[in-house]
Chain A
Amino acid sequence: MIEIDKITKLYGSTCAVDAVSLTAETGTITAIVGTSGSGKTTLLRMINRLVEPSSGEVRINGEPTHAVKPHLLRRRIGYAIQGHGLFPHHTVARNIGAVPELLGWPREKIAARVDELLELFGMEPAEFRERLPLELSGGQQQRVGVARALASRPDLLLMDEPFGALDPIIRTRAQEDLRAIQRKLGSTIMLVTHDMDEAIRLGDRIAVMDGGELVQYGPPEEIVAQPATSFVADMVGDAERPMRLLSLIPVSALLEPGTAEGAPLPAEATLREALSACLWTGREAIPVETEGTPAGRVTLAAIRARAERHA
């Protein structure tokens, strides 16, 4: 559990982060979202003490971070940033193994961990281990950056716009991979982004920052359906709200008995995908199946009704 307790950062007379408190549960992703200059990076960097807070404290599993030497604290907290920040003169293996090496793991254990992570990220170890970062694509560099942050199985992973430098298609893939890997490993992640879509897609909880203040903190459904301020509403985007809401609800939520014509959707698909299928193929209902067997259907009328509940 990560507890941020009334943390503040003053730069001269400007308040970059203003008494922010929030608690993130172990094994969840917290997405910190806000416009540029709202204090997201400063908030994140106070967690691993790259920035020292002016007041307030952070506790990781109950232990205050100021009780530990900064560089030792940072070895327990994964850190991945935009533009990956890999060491250009070290191989992929040495980059990923950097923190285990600092922690004094034996060589064989580091090598095994490096291979395990490369495989987890879909990169053939024998092919990539000895390459330099320069010899990787942007998407691969970014994956190695995240793998490095995960290498020592840290209590917490901090990510500052990790996908910011990727083009849209690769970015979506990277987000899906991160979600899958986080689920699999049960990692606790705090991720900064200026992109509300990314926050909704990845966050179990979303923290919205505005002018150094935390203006709303809650699950994505709540942020989309009940924005606390007009700033949050703007971030969500009025025109996009119904679609965003539908993208958060699985088809299974509106499953009803019966049959329908045409290609089926899996039960994990979102209402947004179901709506899209209805509109695109001119159907009033879509058949739904779980693991290949018919489970019922979802209707356009039900989707509309669900969206209107929040309008």
Chain B
Amino acid sequence: MILRAALIALLLALVLRPEVFTPLFAPFAPENGPVIYTRSSLLSLSLSHLGLVAAASLAATVVAVTLAILVTRPAGEAFRPLSRTITNVGQTFPPVAVLALAVPALGFGAGPTLVALFLYGLLPIFENAMTGLSTLPASTMEAARGIGLDRWQRLWRVELPLAMPVILGGFRLSVVIALGTATIGSTVAARTLGEVIIAGLLTSNTAFVLQGGLIVGLFAVLIHDALVQLEKYLARRSGRG
């Protein structure tokens, strides 16, 4: 709890008052070079970074969960291997290649990054949603049909709520991957925290690299932790925890 509060305070300070850390980063900056990244506000970069991750992850969740619902219905069972293959391919394609391919179609900026993050987000959510929806307690499902719930009612009232903690586990994995992957979006001019890291690499300024890396890392740790807490809460409330 104390650790969590300390990490949040550290992250806020890094984003809002980066100059406070000048003495800390100074040893890593080149002689007489800038220590703290000031070319654009770290707050606006952070918000844009988080916004891209949120948009891509939500879109991936909608698509992956819908797909998982379809292939766990009796009629969709035949498509299970195919949809697995597709989402797996999405995962094995290198993110840089996705960016390179998407730029000609979508131009520079946020577009290609969103596509890459979306593709990377699909697999963990899909796999988890499929696991969650196909490992529901058999007697509960039997009773749900037996007392007269129709397909939709079973899906909305029983299957999705019971699978929710597992689906959320996939979402958490996706978000953490996306937080890291979004940094490379800066190579195609998307506004993300990767800008700080890349500026550092181009000018051999390790202080910038550390600064950007630390902020991305702290976001990942804190968001991961928050989602774990949410999962635990949901698992308790769904009577399975």
Contacts and interface: CB of A to CB of B under 8 A. Distances in A.
A89 B238 contact: yes
15 contacts: A71-B148, A71-B150, A74-B145, A74-B147, A79-B143, A81-B142, A85-B143, A85-B146, A88-B137, A89-B162, A89-B238, A99-B148, A102-B147, A102-B148, A102-B153
A74 B141 CA distance: 14
A75 B150 CA distance: 10
B158 A87 contact: yes
B135 interface: no
A22 B157 CA distance: 36
A148 B147 contact: yes
Interface of B: 137, 139-150, 153, 157-158, 161-162, 237-240
B146 A75 contact: no
A78 B149 CA distance: 13
Instruction: Specify which of B141, B149, B158 lies most central, judged by the most chain A CB atoms within 10 Å of its CB.
Output: B149
A172 interface: no
B239 A75 contact: no
A287 interface: no
Contacts of A180: none
B139 A81 contact: yes
A254 to B, nearest CB: 44
A74 B148 contact: yes
A99 B147 contact: yes
B210 to A, nearest CB: 45
Interface of A: 48, 50, 71-75, 78-79, 81-89, 98-99, 102, 132-134, 145, 148-149, 158
A74 B239 contact: no
B148 A87 contact: no
Contact of A48 (B137, B146, B237): B146
B239 A89 contact: yes
A149 B148 CA distance: 11
Contacts of A149: 147
Nearest to A91: B239
A79 B240 contact: no
Given A132-B239, A158-B146, 7 more contacts: A75-B147, A81-B139, A81-B143, A85-B141, A85-B144, A85-B146, A88-B140
A131 to B, nearest CB: 10
A199 B188 CA distance: 75
Contacts of A81: 139, 142-143, 146
Given A71-B149, A72-B148, A75-B148, A88 B238 contact: yes
Nearest to B157: A87
A84 B162 contact: no
A87 B140 contact: yes
Contacts of A134: 239-240
B161 A85 contact: no
A82 B139 CA distance: 8
Identify the 6 closest CB pairs spanning chains A and B, nearest first.
A85-B143, A88-B239, A75-B148, A79-B146, A74-B148, A89-B238
A145 B142 CA distance: 13
A306 to B, nearest CB: 43
Given A133-B239, A134-B239, A86 B146 contact: no
Contact of B147 (A88, A89, A98): A98
Contacts of B147: 74-75, 78-79, 98-99, 102, 148-149
B140 A86 contact: yes
Contacts of B142: 50, 81, 85
Contacts of A145: 143
Contacts of B144: 85, 87
A82 B146 CA distance: 13
Given A133-B239, A134-B239, A86 B143 contact: yes
B239 A85 contact: no
A77 B111 CA distance: 55
A74 B145 CA distance: 8
B145 A50 contact: yes
Nearest to B150: A71
Nearest to A134: B239
A256 B18 CA distance: 102
B116 to A, nearest CB: 36
A71 B147 CA distance: 8
B50 to A, nearest CB: 31
A148 B147 CA distance: 9
